[in-house]
Chains A and B, each alone.
Chain A
Amino acid sequence: MTEKFNEALRVLNPRGEREATPARGISPRVVELEGKRIGIYWNGKPDGDYFWDTIEGLLKKKFPTATVLRYNGPGDLGEALAAKMAKEVDTFLYGVGD
């Protein structure tokens, strides 16, 4: 058996091949946050509200003319909610806890 262990074995790749995926750029930025509608999306895991409440408070303090809109949903927000948010906000912060 020892000899067999030392034989050169040609082995196959275990990883699934993958196709090239088209690369997408990120959304255009706003020039400033004053007066803008800022969305916060959160998937609602326990205690995350404390974090986002703090962010919202700081945003309102620093940019008093900005409006903060809060959204909740699953980790992957999906097309319908994404389209709704795209209409309602100028920029947004996306959070997932899991």
Chain B
Amino acid sequence: MLVNNGFANDTESASRGKGMPVLRYIPTSVPCEASIMEDIEAGVDGAFEAMVTALTKPLTAEEKSPKPKEIEKPARIIFKGSLEEVSRFFYQRGWTDGLPIIPPTEEAVADMLTGTDLPPDHLLGKLESRLGKATIEKIAVNAVMAGALPTYMPVLIAGTKLLLESERGFMGYTTFGFSTGSWAPFWIINGPVRNEINVNNSSGAFSPGNIANAAIGRAMGLIIKNIGGVRKGVEDMGVMGNPMKYSMVIAENEEESPWEPLHVEYGYRQEESTITVSYPQTYLQHWPYGSDAEGILRAVIGYIIRGMRYTFIFTPPHAKNLAREGWTKEDIKEFISEYARIPGSHFNNIPVIGGARPSLYKGKISARDTDTVALIRDPRFIRIIVAGGPGAFIAHTVGGGATPGKKQTQKIELPANWDKLVKKYKNIVPTYAKY
């Protein structure tokens, strides 16, 4: 195996994770995604002899039958110290997102576990890539660290199930979490649970300041890191990184939407609650050209960028204006996939997603400005939701997500004492003084 120098840790981690503690790989100096032949040839020349040796040198005894890995079963109580010492201990082991944590004491974890009827040792599954056991207690520990309330436990359990049950290759935020593309999990919450746990869907829906939006995404990030084992610079090779990885969680404003909510569109009942995930790389916002359907939709296709999966977030007034002129969500998806086009000359030889090798496209697509190429080949790559406050902005999230028809939504199961729990925690909301 030949790898770029910067990916040595990643290579070893992937190999060990798959049960191969010893691997022959050759770090090369070829820059990633290089298309300059001089650079490629220089890097390959330097590595060629090593490559031939790796293919032909007889195996060592250790390579033939490596020692089996020992069971990793560390102490349940991992540390004892002050608030500051706990935070530093966790940070220095790479178990946080860089911000201070709430110490996961027995008492705090027991309190968090009141948010579920499932026993602490209940195993949801093993999260890729390190195949860490996702037990209810481990989810609760990470939830405490993130500052979550016990009423978020059903959402976090559903989010973890969603990662576990995703299609092959996407299980446990592996493909998007490992990628150099810095894709961030974006969680949309639908159904009655949204209001019961106060997930913001209105003014500044994507901004910090609401505990549910902040802590749910943060907790999922810690679950991915500490249970699944996706760590920055080792497994997560995102080149630029992404601030959306701290937490990107919103609810849909179902009450003010003229359309069926996302979870109903995906086959769930209105009174059920769900969590839906995608993996955007980019979040962009813009004004419409006008507040009517033409002004809104022309602006959407004017500002659209290349990607794989799209979520468009319309404010309630824009959604209502579109619906008043007869536009359904399906109409909008079809319109965007038909008219979001770029000149052939902008296309170069980069394949649209789902396409084959770039070489298959070379010379086969017109490079004339007068010919255009559709940015989105399939309306199922588009998702439309309603959220945001007063004002005229439209938001796009652009990036990755499930293959159409594959799992992207999970039902949120509530514990028997849900109403009592909601009553206990529902009033924890910020109240701003007037000045």
Contacts and interface: CB of A to CB of B under 8 A. Distances in A.
Interface stretch (B220-228, B245-253, B275-283, B293-301): B220-228
Contact of A29 (B32, B55, B68): B55
Contacts of B237: 98
Interface in A10-36: 10-26, 28-33
Interface string B58-83: 11000111111111111111111111
A50 B37 contact: yes
Contacts of A76: 168-169
B69 A13 contact: no
Contact of B142 (A14, A54, A75): A14
A21 B15 CA distance: 12
B72 A29 contact: no
A23 B66 contact: yes
A58 interface: yes
User: Top 4 A-B pairs ranked by shortest CB distance?
Assistant: A16-B132, A16-B227, A13-B78, A14-B226
Contacts of B63: 25-26
A12 B37 contact: no
Contacts of B169: 74-76
Interface in B94-125: 95, 103-106, 109
Interface residues of B, number: 88
B355 to A, nearest CB: 9
Contacts of A13: 74-78, 141
B352 to A, nearest CB: 12
Interface in B1-49: 1-2, 19-24, 30, 32-35, 37, 40-41, 44-45, 48
B73 A11 contact: no
Interface in A55-88: 55, 58, 62, 72, 74-76
B70 A20 contact: yes
Contact of A14 (B22, B35, B56, B138): B138
A25 B23 CA distance: 8
B305 interface: no
A51 B30 contact: yes
A46 B181 CA distance: 13
A16 B78 contact: no
A5 to B, nearest CB: 4
B61 to A, nearest CB: 9
A29 B20 contact: no
B67 A12 contact: no
B43 to A, nearest CB: 8
Given A5-B84, A21-B131, A50-B40, 18 more contacts: A12-B137, A14-B138, A14-B142, A17-B133, A18-B72, A18-B126, A21-B19, A21-B69, A23-B21, A26-B23, A30-B55, A33-B55, A44-B357, A58-B45, A62-B48, A62-B52, A95-B2, A98-B179
A64 B24 CA distance: 24
B212 interface: no
A18 B131 contact: yes
B59 A95 contact: no
Contacts of A74: 169
A50 B32 CA distance: 12
B56 A32 contact: yes
A28 B56 CA distance: 9
A65 to B, nearest CB: 15
B57 interface: yes
Nearest to A6: B82
Contact of A25 (B2, B65, B142, B229): B65
A49 B67 CA distance: 36
Contacts of B33: 45-48, 97
Given A16-B135, A29-B57, A51 B104 contact: no
B356 interface: yes
A38 B263 CA distance: 49
Interface in B126-140: 126-127, 130-135, 137-138
Given A25-B63, A93-B2, A51 B83 contact: no
